[in-house]
Structures are given as structure tokens and as C-alpha cells.
Chain A
Amino acid sequence: MSQSDPDWDAIFREYLPRVYNYFLYRVNNQQIAEDLSSETFGRVWANRDKYREDIAGFSTWLFTIAHHVAVDFYRKQQPKLIAIEDVYHLSGSDKDTPEKIIQAKFEKEQLARLIADLPEREQDIISLKYGAGFSHQEIAELLSISESNVGTIVHRAVKQIRRLLMQEERQKHG
């Protein structure tokens, strides 16, 4: 890539949402996800002329950096509780009723909490798949594990989350 003149605006537009959502799934906090996204793109931008496509695909390179940014973040962090109110902002269109907005927020909070309860490795993989939109094969390459291993971890994690969601739903209505 360093040899050509890439359209960095296009790259930014394509990858910012994926990087941002990767962090959002990892840290469950908008502000922190923005900060970590900024840090990632800062590193990418500063080293953009050093990227070589014969070494790694661009998304692999970018998300390797994002992964390290996340590792750095967790290393510096002391374990702390994040108020559930801070996890996700109230979102919804004008057409949504307040009840629907609250319901959607509640479901998001539930899901975010269950993802946060996963072991860090599983959180990372879930964030790469559902936040950044990677395939199992791409995650396997990025994390240097086998594709079948990724599939197993994703399957197990989603199954567990689904089971806990249903369990909570039953308790709510029981």
C-alpha cells in the first residue's frame, strides 16, 4: 500500500464503524470506544506508509493494532464497574414509542452485560465477529487460532448468551 496512493478517506469511512463497534463490544462504553478508535487510527495513520500488503491484509494489520490498543487499555485499567446507564445511550427513531425505546435499551443492556461477563478471549472474538463484522476465517488469521476453534468459541458463547437471555426473560415473566 505504501507504493500506491490509497484513498485514505475511503479507508477511514469503511473501517471506522468496524473499529468503533469492535471497541464498543469490548468496553461497553461509547466514550471509551471513541477514544480507543482514535488511538487506533492515530497509530495507523502515523504508520500508514510503512504498511506492506505482502505481509498482511490491511484489515488484519489494522485490527492487530486495534487488538493491541485494547490490550493496552485493559492493562492500564483497574477492574471497575461501569454504571449500566453509561453503557449505551438511549437510541431510537422518532417513530418509536417510549416503551419501545426503553425495551430496546433494556435488551441492549442485557446483551452488553452478558458479553462483558464472558472470558476476555471470548469477548474479543465476539467483538470481532459481531462488532467488526469479521468472518471466522478472518478472525482465525487475526488471532492465530484455527477457524474451527473460532467457530466453536462463537457457537458456545452465543449459545450461553441466548440461554441466559431466555432464563432472564422467563424470570421476568414468571
Chain B
Amino acid sequence: MANDDFMYSLQEEPREAFANNLLQSLEKNSNANSTHAHSLKRVASIVSIIFIASSMLLLSSPDVRALVIQTLGIDEWIAVSEEDAQDYVPFAIPQAIPEGYTRQTDWRDPSGNQQEGEVVVSTFSNGVLLGRIMWERDDCYIMMVATEFGGSSNNPDAMARNEYYAERYDWIDLFDVGGVRGIWRLQTVPNQDNDRMTIEWKSLAGIAYSMETTSNCLSQEGFITMAQSVE
């Protein structure tokens, strides 16, 4: 590009007083919070367990489900409303079926056989496959796969989360991570036959999650267009 030095001319140093005040404020908050961190964490864990148990019973009711979506905490995760989820990771899981597509589900049973009809939980060497949804139109398939890395089928907490996801069928909630809501990464990786979008995020418990979307007939641009279309 030709000389674009002029574009930097708006830069300026933050005011020193502002920087000092901010740093002092952060340090002050940090000291105040550290004394309560452990007790708060413990309370949060207990509340989470109660909510997990309750949710299994309540989720069958659409009205109650909406409430649970707002308040459910699972292993330090805080579910946010579907509307908020759309704001932060709008293309992770389309809330509405893109025009012209029909929703199908595709999953593998414990023996690895491909099945259709319901999302189920299965495990693999690196973690737990939470489920997958396939979209189809005119023999063009888009598959979305959610995975929990570092999860274990022997871990009760992980299983509770997985059952929760499976129960939800389309696991449309995304999560507020301690108010950050942003620890995710999306990559588009074009290659000869398939394009792929990978979205990664993690829980406060440090468990990494990923969602991978593949298609056998959409270009990279097509993926982005489709993703943006559900924003």
C-alpha cells in the first residue's frame, strides 16, 4: 500500500493520571476479591449441582426451560439467553434453520455406528463428543460438531454436562465465561474439498470446547455468508 503514515496521526498516549488511577483501581479490586474467591467458588459449585439436578426435571417444560436457560449454572458456567448468545457468537449454532435447509441429526452410537434421529453423547480418545447436527439441502451437507476436550466419560460433572446437552437436543446455549463471553476463536480453513470453521472456547473450570463446522459444498465465503445470515 502507498504511504499510510497519516492514518497513525490520531494516536496519542493515554493520560498519565488516567493510567495510574486505572492501575491502582485494578490492584485495589484484586486485593479485595482475593479473600472471597474460594468461598464464592464453593457456593457456586453447590448451586450448580442443585441446578443440574433440577434442570433434568424441568427442561421438558418450555416455559420453565426459558427460565432455566437464564439461570442455570453448570460447573461454573453461566448460561445466557439465546439472544445474548447470538450477540457474542452468532454463528456458532444457528438459532434458525437457514432458508432452504432442513434440520437433521446425525450421531454415532457407542459402537461407532452412524445413527439418525437424536443427539447422543459419545466419547473418543481426547474428550467427549457432545453431539452433532447436520444441515442438508440438495445433497449439500453442513455438519456442526461440538466437542469437549479433556472431558472424560468417567467424570460425573462432564457426564452431567453431556446429558444436559443431549437432553437439550440442539444445545443452543452458549455461555458467559465469567463475564468475558469472549474466549473463543474461529478459524476458516479452506482446502480442496471441504471448508471448515472451528470455534473454541473454555469454561471457568478450564475445560476447552470446540465446535467444528464442515461442508462438502460451501466455499469459505459461503460459510461466512451463512453464518452472518443468522446474526
Contacts and interface: CB of A to CB of B under 8 A. Distances in A.
A55 B23 contact: no
Contact of A50 (B4, B29, B30, B204): B204
B138 interface: no
A145 B224 CA distance: 8
A6 interface: no
A116 B146 CA distance: 39
Interface residues of A, number: 53
A126 B7 contact: yes
A164 interface: no
Given A52-B202, A55-B200, A131 B182 contact: no
Given A12-B23, A71-B87, A146-B220, A64 B183 contact: yes
Given A45-B29, A111-B6, A50 B178 contact: yes
A168 to B, nearest CB: 13
B36 to A, nearest CB: 13
B7 A46 contact: no
Contacts of B183: 50-52, 55-56, 61, 64
A93 to B, nearest CB: 13
Contacts of A77: none
B178 A112 contact: no
A150 B26 CA distance: 34
B34 to A, nearest CB: 10
A68 interface: yes
A162 B9 CA distance: 13
Contacts of A21: 10-12
A34 B18 contact: yes
A34 to B, nearest CB: 5
A58 to B, nearest CB: 11
Kindly name the residue among B7, B10, B14, B23 whose own CB sees the greatest number of chain A CB atoms within 10 A: B10
B14 A34 contact: yes
A88 to B, nearest CB: 7
Interface in A23-53: 24-25, 30, 34, 37-38, 41-43, 45-47, 50-52
Given A64-B182, A144-B186, A158 B7 contact: yes
Interface of B: 1-2, 4, 6-15, 18-19, 22-23, 25-26, 29-30, 33, 87-88, 177-188, 200-202, 204, 206, 208, 220, 224
Q: What 3 pairs between A and B have smallest CB-CB spacing?
A: A144-B186, A64-B182, A20-B14
13 contacts: A30-B15, A38-B25, A50-B183, A61-B183, A91-B12, A111-B9, A112-B10, A126-B7, A130-B4, A130-B11, A131-B11, A144-B185, A144-B186
Given A21-B11, A24-B11, A131-B11, 9 more contacts: A9-B23, A21-B10, A21-B12, A45-B26, A45-B29, A50-B206, A68-B182, A158-B7, A162-B2
